[in-house]
C-alpha cells in the first residue's frame, strides 16, 4: 500500500514566532520564519486533506500518547497576552477513529474528548505547540481538517509506532495528509538563556539535526535520561513520531534550518515522501502456509490440518519461528528451536497460530488485522555448542542455558549488533542474571518473507 503522506516535518513552536507576540524580535529568528513559511507553502501545494499534528504541550499521559476528539477545537494566545489571536480547527473524525482503532492492539493511545479532559481539570484547546505551526500552515492557505495528538515522554519508541499507525491509517482511508511534528530542541543553548546553560545543549541539537538529515535515529537512542534532562528539550518525542511516519520511504528534503537566537534550539525540516515503485510480490510457500494457518484459526477456532501436497522442503524436520509485524512494530513471535512435530509444515502451522493468538506480550490477533501483517518464517539449523568468539550477531542466533532455564535470540535483529548484546537479551528472556555463567549454543537461520 503506497503512502498518502504528502509531506511531513519538524517545526518549532515559540510563541514569539507569531508576529502579534514577537514584534521586532521576530527579526532575530528570520531564518526559522523563512524556512517555515517555505515548508508550509510546499505542504499546502501537495493538496493535503488533513494535517496531523503532535504537540508536547497538550495534555500528556505517562503511559502513552493521546488523541483529542471533538467536532472542532479552539485556542488563543491569552497566556502570552493576546487573547484576540485565536484559531479554531475542524477535527477529522474518520481519520481520528481509524488511528484509535489501529492503535488498540499495539500501544496505549488515550482517547480524550471534552468529558475525559474534564476529569483532569482541563478543556480541549489548541495549545501553543499546536497553535504556532498551524498559524503558518493556515497562513499558507490550508483549509482542511486536523488530527491533534500529544506524545508519550516515558517511552519514545511508542511515538515512533504511533507514527507508523498514523501513516497506515491515512493510506487505508486514501486520506492525503501532511504531518507536523511540533517541538523545540535544547532550551539551554546560551549563557543568557532563561532556562540556564549547558554545553551539552548544542551537542543535542547537532545530533538531532544530523539524525534528521541522515534519516538515522540510532544516535538518538544512545542518549541517557540524565543527558536528556540536562539539556531541557520538548521535541524529542515528536522527532521519534516523525521517524515512524516516514518509515524507510525515500523522501526529498527541500527545507532545512536550525538556529537558537534566544537560547532555545529551533529546528525546521520538511520531507516530501516519494511514491514507491511497484514491487513484484514474492509469495514463499512457508509464509503462505503461516498466513493460511492464522486465517483458518481465526475463522474456525481450531488448528488447520496439514496439506497433503507438501513441497519436499516442508516434509523435513526442523525448528521454526514465525514472526508477525504490523506497521513495522512486532505483533507476535513464537517458535521452536528443535522440531516438535512430524515436519516443518506442522511446525509452521502451530507456531503461526501461537504467534497470532498466544504470545503473552500481545492481545490475540483480530481478523481485521490480518491484512496488515508482514509475516516472516525462520527455519533453524540444529544448535551447536559455541563460545563467545564463535558468535556473530548478524549470522548466528544464540541460545543461553543455565540448568533448566533457556533463552533464545534470533540473528540479524534491528538494534542488536554484537554477540554480547545477544547474550544479554537472551539471558533476560530466560530470567538468568547478567553475571551468571551460561552454556552457549549457536544456530543458522534461513529467513523467508
Set of cell numbers at residue 172: 487505508
User: Residue 116 in 3-state DSSP?
Assistant: helix
Average pLDDT of 214-220? Answer: 88
pLDDT of 280 reads: 44
Task: Supply the Cα-derived Rg of the chain in whole angstroms.
Answer: 25
pLDDT at 68 over 70: yes
pLDDT band with cut points at 50, 70 and 90 for residue 279: very low
* Per-residue pLDDT reduced to its tens digit, 336-360: 999 999 999 999 999 999 999 999 9
- Hey, what CATH topology would domain 285-448 get? Glycoprotein, Type 4 Pilin (3.30.700)
pLDDT at 287 over 60: yes
pLDDT of 397 reads: 95
pLDDT band with cut points at 50, 70 and 90 for residue 372: confident
pLDDT at 184 over 60: yes
Average pLDDT of 165-192? Answer: 96
Annotated domain spans of the chain: 5-273, 285-448
pLDDT of 1 reads: 56
Which residues are CB-neighbours of 267 under 8 A, at least 6 positions away?
10, 12, 185, 205, 208, 209, 212, 235, 257, 258
Question: SS3 string of 196-265?
Answer: CCCCHHHHHHHHHHHHHHHCCCHHHHCCCHHHHHHHCCCCHHHHHHHHHHHCCCCEEEEEEEEECCCCCC
Average pLDDT of 380-407? Answer: 95
User: Of all helices (H) and strands (E), which one includes residue 37?
Assistant: helix 30-45
Average pLDDT of 99-103? Answer: 95
Distance CA 170, CA 157 (A): 20
**Bridge partner residues of 204 (DSSP):** none
Cα angle vertex 294, ends 288, 295, to 5°? 85
Query: DSSP for 430-442?
Result: HT--TTS--EEEE
Cα angle vertex 271, ends 95, 152, to 5°? 55
| Pick from 17-21, 289-293, 361-365: least confident | 361-365
Residue 104, classified by CB atoms within 10 Å of its CB into exposed (0-12), middle (13-18) or buried (19+), is middle
CATH of domain 5-273: 3.40.830.10
pLDDT at 401 over 50: yes
Amino acid at each position: 500500500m503506497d503512502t498518502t503522506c504528502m509531506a511531513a516535518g519538524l517545526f518549532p513552536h515559540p510563541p514569539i514566532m507569531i508576529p502579534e507576540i514577537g514584534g521586532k524580535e521576530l527579526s532575530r529568528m528570520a531564518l526559522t520564519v523563512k524556512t517555515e513559511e517555505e515548508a508550509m507553502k510546499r505542504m499546502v501545494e501537495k493538496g493535503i486533506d488533513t494535517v496531523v499534528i503532535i504537540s508536547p504541550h497538550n495534555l500528556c499521559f505517562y503511559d502513552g500518547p493521546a488523541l483529542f476528539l471533538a467536532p472542532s477545537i479552539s485556542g488563543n494566545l491569552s497566556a502570552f497576552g493576546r487573547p484576540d489571536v485565536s484559531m479554531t480547527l475542524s477535527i477529522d473524525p474518520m481519520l481520528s477513529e481509524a488511528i484509535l482503532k489501529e492503535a488498540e492492539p499495539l500501544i496505549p493511545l488515550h482517547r480524550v474528548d471534552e468529558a475525559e479532559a474534564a476529569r483532569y481539570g482541563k478543556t480541549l484547546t489548541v495549545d501553543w505547540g499546536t497553535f504556532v505551526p498551524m498559524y503558518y500552515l493556515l497562513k499558507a492557505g490550508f483549509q482542511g481538517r486536523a488530527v491533534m495528538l500529544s506524545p508519550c515522554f516515558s517511552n519514545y519508541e511508542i511515538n515512533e509506532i504511533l507514527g507508523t499507525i498514523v501513516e497506515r491509517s491515512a493510506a487505508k482511508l486514501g486520506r492525503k495528509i501532511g504531518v507536523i511534528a511540533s517541538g523545540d530542541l535544547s532550551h539551554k543553548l546560551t549563557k543568557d538563556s532563561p532556562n540556564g546553560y549547558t554545553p551539552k545543549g548544542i551537542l543535542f541539537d547537532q545530533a538531532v539535526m544530523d539524525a534528521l538529515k541522515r534519516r538515522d535515529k540510532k544516535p538518538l537512542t544512545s542518549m541517557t535520561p540524565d543527558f536528556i534532562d540536562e539539556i531541557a528539550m520538548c521535541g524529542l518525542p515528536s522527532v521519534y513520531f516523525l521517524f515512524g511516519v516516514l518509515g524507510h520511504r525515500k523522501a526529498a528534503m527541500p527545507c532545512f534550518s536550525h538556529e537558537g537566537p534566544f537560547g532555545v534550539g529551533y529546528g525546521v525540516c520538511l520531507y516530501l515522501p516519494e511514491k514507491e515503485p511497484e514491487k513484484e510480490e514474492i509469495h514463499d510457500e512457508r509464509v503462505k502456509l503461516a498466513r493460511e494457518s492464522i486465517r483458518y484459526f481465526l475463522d474456525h477456532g481450531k488448528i488447520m490440518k496439514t496439506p497433503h501436497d507438501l513441497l519436499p522442503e516442508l516434509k523435513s524436520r526442523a525448528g521454526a519461528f514465525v514472526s508477525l509485524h504490523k506497521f513495522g512494530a512486532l505483533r507476535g513471535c513464537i517458535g521452536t528451536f528443535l522440531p516438535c512435530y512430524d515436519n516443518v509444515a506442522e511446525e509452521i502451522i502451530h507456531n503461526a497460530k501461537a504467534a497470532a493468538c498466544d504470545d503473552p506480550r500481545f492481545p490475540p490477533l483480530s481478523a481485521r488485522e490480518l491484512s496488515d501483517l508482514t509475516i516472516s518464517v525462520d527455519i533453524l539449523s540444529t544448535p551447536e555448542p559455541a563460545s563467545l568468539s564463535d558468535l556473530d550477531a548478524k549470522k548466528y542466533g544464540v541460545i543461553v542455558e543455565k540448568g533448566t532455564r533457556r533463552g533464545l535470540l534470533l540473528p540479524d535483529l534491528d538494534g542488536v549488533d554484537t554477540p554480547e548484546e545477544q547474550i544479554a537479551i537472551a539471558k533476560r528472556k530466560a530470567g538468568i542474571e547478567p553475571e551468571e555463567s551460561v552454556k552457549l549454543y549457536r544456530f543458522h537461520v534461513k529467513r523467508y518473507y
